[in-house]
Amino acid sequence: MTLKKTAAGLLILTMAVTGAACTSKDSTTSPTPAATATVAPQATAAVTQDATNMKGYIAARIAREKVDYLFAEAKSADGAFVVNPIAATDKETAKKFLANYVDAAMLDTLVNHYVTDTKAGATYLTNTKSYFTDNILTTKKEEITFDKANTPELVKFTTKDGVTYTTKKANDKFLLSEVK
């Protein structure tokens, strides 16, 4: 019985010491609310345009990935590229798929460039010549020049190859709207 009481006493003592150590560690390493309130506004103001630029750049890269996925990945039985049947089978379903990444004003031009009138099974063959004159997926952030007039609603940037991409904000996300 004494052994059980001693073991129980040691367990309680260990828990108390551990709890005190955790409590004191948290209170010494946590910043005070006043310090957090002073630092946060300065940091937010300094990165707002950079963050917006990066959102536009990333949106353009994602749009390009989706275009490649839709038009340059799936092949027919004879090896010809077709509209990826996992995502779409024709022009209308291709537009619906890309509408999450590409602005409506650019959708028709883009889809009409890729989707041909020739069918291979249940889906259409695609044009193998890329709509894009460069591959943004091979660029690095350091090789991009962002337009100084960018806003929270519109981001323009130019690649090292001189191709200009424009992304517009719609429903709280950026969509690719133009490539020149």
Q: What is the pLDDT along the chain (180 residues), one digit of tens a residue?
A: 544 554 445 455 455 545 544 544 444 444 444 444 444 444 444 448 999 999 999 999 999 999 999 999 999 999 999 999 999 999 999 999 999 999 999 999 999 999 999 999 889 999 999 999 999 999 998 999 999 999 999 999 999 999 999 999 999 999 999 999
Q: Are 133 and 164 in contact (CB under 8 A)?
A: no
* Domain residue ranges in the chain: 47-179
Least Cα distance to 88 among 103, 59, 110 occurs for 110
Task: Please tell me the class of the 47-179 domain.
Answer: alpha beta
Instruction: Name the helix (H) or strand (E) containing 127.
Output: none
CA 97 to chain centroid: 16
Strand order in the sheet with 164-170: 145-146, 154-158, 164-170, 173-179
Quick one: pLDDT at residue 4?
54
The reported pLDDT for the residue numbered 109 is 97
| Token pair belonging to 38 | 């002073």
Tokens of 76: 């027919």
What global pTM score does this model have? 0.73
